[in-house]
Amino acid sequence: MMDRRHFLTVCSQFGFASTLLPGTLYTIAAQAQAASSSADTTSSPKELPKITPEMLEQAAALAGVSIAPDQVPMMLDGLNRQRTGYQKVRALHMPNSVAPAYIFDPLPPGAILHTNRELPNYGSAPAVGSTPKNLEALAFDRVPQLAEYVRTKKVSSVALTEMYIERIRRYDPELHFLITLTEERAMAQAKAADAEIAAGKYRGPLHGLPWGAKDLLAVKGYPTTWGAGGFQHQMIDEDATVVQRLDAAGAVLVAKLTLGALANGDKWFGGRTRNPWNKQQGSSGSSAGPASATAAGCVAFSIGSETLGSISSPSTRCGTTGLRPTFGFVPRTGAMALSWTMDKLGPICRAVDDCAIVMSSIYGPDGKDLSVKNAAFNWDTDFDWRRLRIGYLKSAFDMPKPLDEKMPAAMTPEEEKKWQERLGHRRAYRARTVYDRKFDLAALDKLKNMGVDLVPVELPKLPYEAMANLLSAEAAAAFDELTMTGRDKLLTGQGPEDWPNLFRIARFYPAVEYIQANRARTLAIHQMANIFETVDILVTPSGGEQLVVTNLTGHPAVIQPNGIRGKDAPKPPIADAGDDDNIGGPGTPVSITFLGGLYQDAKLCAFARAYQQATDFYKMHPGL
C-alpha cells in the first residue's frame, strides 16, 4: 500500500486531505459494485470498482469540499490504495465488544475525584406490617420495604419471585415488555437467598429481590437479543459485570426486558412496548421494557441504559425514577456497545432511595471497561441536602415561543396540504408543552417552599446538535458489518430516524469532522465545569437541549415523577409514531430532572430524594 503519510502530504498541498470523505468514496463505490454485480453475475463480490473522477466529484460535493479538475487525476491512485485498507480492517469481523483504542474522559483538567469509599447509610429499616394474604399488595412497594419483608423473613424470596413472575405473565401480553423470562435461574437464586438469610447470611437490601435487565446485558445461558431482528437467538457466553454484581448482592434476575432495536425507541422485533398509564402509547425508549415493567409493578427494580435519553425518556413516559450515572461510573462490560463515549448503565426504579441502593452495588472499576474511574458513590440517607447550592435552567422554564404560522408563498396544492399537516402537529405539540409547563413551574415553587434559594443559570451556547453526530458515527462503526452485509433490513424500524437509515447517513461523516466535534465537546466540558463551580445541582424540565448537552459531557441526572396530567390535558396524537418522548394526554405522568456535577451522583440523589419525599408523586402507580 501507498505510505499513508506520503499520501496525506501530497493531498494536503491541495487543501482537502483533512476534510475528504473516504467513507463516502467507499459507499459510492460499493453502490457501483452492487449495480455492476446485478448486471454481471461473474464478478467477485469482494472486488470494488476503481474510484472514478465522477465518484470523487460526488464525494467532494457531499463533504462540501472544492476540488479543481486538474487535482482529481493525481488523487485517484492514492485513494484506491487507501480504500484497500478499509477492506482489510473489515475482514477482521470485529465483534461489538471490541472498543476503539481511545477512552472518553468527562473530567476537565484539575478536577478532584473522591475515591475514599464509605459504607452506605441506608437509614433505619422501614416499618412493615404482617405478611399480606395476597402478596400482590407488595407489587408496587419500594426496595427498602421489600428488603425489610425479606430480611425479617415475613416474605420469602421464593414467594416474592413467584409473585412477580406471575405478574409478568399476566401483564406482558398487554404491555410487551418481556423478551426472555429467566425463571429457572431466578428460582434457583431465590431458593439460595432464602437459605442464606435463614442461616444469618444477609447480603444487604437487594438480597432476594427480583429485578429485570434491559436485554443488551449479556446473561450466560440465555439469548441476548439487543431487541433487534436477526439477533433473536444470539448467545453471549458471559454475564455482564452489572449482572455479576447484582448476583453478588443476592438480587434475583427474573427477566430480560425489551429495548427498541439496537437501543433506539420502543419498537423491537416483537412489537412495541407499551406505557402502563395508557396502553395506546409506546413506553418510549430505548429502556422501554425496564421502565414499563417497573412502572407496572412486575419487578422490584430494573437496569436500563442511556446514550441520549434512553433512561430519561421512558422514565418520563412511564412515571418511574431513573438514575443516569456519570459517564464512567458503572462498567459496561458485557453490555451492547452503541457509542463508546456516551453509553451509560443505570437503575430504573420506583424511588430515588431504590436507585441509590442499586447504584451502591453496581458502580466502580471492573478492570475491563477502561472508561470507569475509581470514584466513590457514598450514599448517605442522612446527608444534609440544605448545604447544596441549587441552580435552575431559567430559559428552559420560559413560555414556548409563538409559532410562525405564515404560509410560504408559491406552494403547490400538495405542498400546502403537507404544510398544513405539519402546522397542525406543531400546534398540538406546543399546546401540550404549554400545558406541561405548569408542572415545571410548580416544581420551582415547591423547591422555594422547601427553603431552596434557586440560582438562575443558562447552558453554554455551543452547537450541541452538531456534536450529537458523534453518536451516529460511533453507532455506525459498532454495527458496520450489519450495514455492509445488508442485514440491517432485518431490523423492525426502517424509517428516516431508525438505525438502518442513520447508519447509512453516518458513512458520509468525515473523520475530521468527528474529531472537530470532539474538540467542540471539550469546550462544552470546560464550560459546564464552570457552571458546576457555582452550583451543585441544576433543576430542569426533562426534555430540551440539556438532554443532549449532559449526555455529551457525561453529567449525571435523576429523572422522577412530577405529577399526573388532568382530564383537561390536551389529547395526545391518535397514533404514537415514537417521535415524541413525552407524548402526553389525560391521566399520564410528567417528570422533572435534577442534574449534578461529575461523580457527584450521591449528592444528586440526596437532593432528588428530598424533593421526592416532599411531593409524594413517586407513590403513584398506574391502575392496571
- 49 — pLDDT class (breaks 50, 70, 90): confident
- pLDDT at residue number 33: 54
411-464: pLDDT as tens digits: 899 999 999 999 998 999 999 999 999 999 999 999 999 999 999 999 999 999
586-602: pLDDT as tens digits: 999 999 999 999 999 99
- pLDDT at residue number 62: 80
245 versus 84: which is more confidently predicted?
245
Extended strands (E) in 565-619: 589-596
Among the listed residues 518, 398, 522, the one whose alpha carbon sits nearest the alpha carbon of residue 460: 522
SS3 506: helix
Question: Could you give the CA distance from residue 149 to residue 152 in angstroms, rounded to a whole number?
Answer: 5
- pLDDT at residue number 7: 33
- pLDDT at residue number 16: 41
469-490: pLDDT as tens digits: 999 999 999 999 999 999 999 9
- Rounded alpha-carbon distances, angstroms, from residue 540 to 564, 566, 583, 611: 18, 22, 18, 13
Q: How does strand 210-214 pair with strand 252-257?
A: parallel
- pLDDT at residue number 4: 34
Cβ within 8 Å of residue 50, ≥6 positions away? 76, 80
SS3 100: coil
- pLDDT at residue number 215: 98
pLDDT at 15 over 70: no
C-alpha Rg value of the chain to the nearest Å = 26
What value, to the nearest 5°, has the Cα angle with vertex 45 and ends 43 and 46? 115
- pLDDT at residue number 2: 32
268 versus 43: which is more confidently predicted?
268
pLDDT at 34 over 70: no
Mean pLDDT value of segment 67-83: 83
pLDDT at 36 over 60: no
List phi, psi (to 5°) of 5: -60, -40
- pLDDT at residue number 77: 84
Longest dimension (CA), the chain: 87
pLDDT at 512 over 60: yes
- pLDDT at residue number 237: 96
Entry pTM = 0.90
List phi, psi (to 5°) of 143: -55, -50
- 245 — pLDDT class (breaks 50, 70, 90): very high
Cβ atoms of residues 253 and 189 within 8 Å: yes
- pLDDT at residue number 28: 55
What value, to the nearest 5°, has the Cα angle with vertex 555 and ends 577 and 319? 40
Q: How does strand 178-181 pair with strand 252-257?
A: antiparallel
Lowest mean pLDDT among 74-88, 212-226, 255-269: 74-88
Cell 405478611, located at residue: 131
399 versus 38: which is more confidently predicted?
399
Helix (DSSP H) and strand (DSSP E) numbers for the chain:
19, 15
Mean pLDDT value of segment 597-623: 97
- pLDDT at residue number 10: 37
- pLDDT at residue number 17: 40
Mean pLDDT value of segment 234-255: 98
Angle between the N-to-C axes of helices 157-175 and 288-295, in degrees from 0 to 180, rounded to the nearest 10: 120
**What is the chain's mean pLDDT, rounded?**
91
Mean pLDDT value of segment 161-183: 98
- 582 — pLDDT class (breaks 50, 70, 90): confident
Mean pLDDT value of segment 60-77: 83
Question: Could you give the CA distance from residue 213 to residue 164 in angstroms, rounded to a whole number?
Answer: 14
pLDDT at 41 over 60: no
Q: How does strand 589-596 pair with strand 557-564?
A: antiparallel
- pLDDT at residue number 29: 55
pLDDT at 110 over 90: yes
pLDDT at 40 over 50: no
pLDDT at 20 over 70: no
Percent of the chain past pLDDT 90, that is, above it, reads 79
519 versus 35: which is more confidently predicted?
519
pLDDT at 105 over 70: yes
- pLDDT at residue number 13: 41
Q: What number of residues does the chain have?
A: 624
SS3 311: coil
- pLDDT at residue number 44: 42
124 versus 63: which is more confidently predicted?
124
567-580: pLDDT as tens digits: 999 999 888 877 77
Q: Which residues participate in catalysis according to the annotation?
A: 214, 286, 310
DSSP 430: H
Task: Identify which of 35-39, 334-338, 508-512 has the greatest average pLDDT.
Answer: 334-338
111-149: pLDDT as tens digits: 999 999 999 999 999 999 999 999 999 999 999 999 999
